[in-house]
Structure 1
Amino acid sequence: MDDRPAEPTERTDDPEAYVGLPGGQAEEQARSRGWANVRSLPPGAMITMEYVEGRLNFTVEDEKVVRCWQG
């Protein structure tokens, strides 16, 4: 059984609303709002440019979200 929340049909979250939150709190909040895949990254992390529907990405610096984007 998959315990992940179902994919939201319409995302109403503004990624900018996560900026400034503690990293752990931002991840919890995103999952509780239906984001199937949440990824926290350090500043300057090398990542692929592959867009993944249902993924929310955070750049976390000094335990705070400094950037957030979908895909």
Structure 2
Amino acid sequence: MAPNPTPPAEPQDSPDAYVGLDSGAAERRARERGWSTVRSLPPGAIITMEYRAGRLNFEVRDGRVTRAWKG
């Protein structure tokens, strides 16, 4: 049997620090801080709920991050 893969490490970064930022600046900052995937979504978007280590999600309204969460 193959060993379980080790998930990538997540940056020690608080998603709350991105709320209120311009979406472009928030995405750049997240990538600089080591997030492997950054996903920007409109409010109420239908998304899959699987957890992905290393992914940061942004809900964006009028060009600003209104919510941010891991996975």
Q: Report what 2:51 is aligned to.
A: 51
Identity of matched residues, %: 62
Aligned CA distance change for structure 1 residues 30 and 50 (closer, same or farther; 3 Å): same
| 1:10 CA drift (Å) | 5.2
The unaligned stretches of length 5 or more in structure 2 are 1-7
The unaligned stretches of length 5 or more in structure 1 are 1-6
Any idea what SS the aligned residue of 1:56 has? Answer: strand
| 1:11 CA drift (Å) | 2.2
Q: Report what 2:30 is aligned to.
A: 30
Structure 1 residue ranges, 4+ long, deviating more than 4 angstroms after superposition: none
Aligned residues: 64
**Structure 1 residues 1-71: aligned runs within 5 Å:** 9=9, 11-71=11-71
Cα distance in 2, alignment partners of residues 38 and 67 from structure 1:
13
- Across the aligned residues of Structure 1 and Structure 2, the Cα RMSD in angstroms comes to 1.1
Contact kept, 8 Å, 2:10 with 2:53, in 1: the verdict is no
| Higher radius of gyration, 1 or 2 | 2
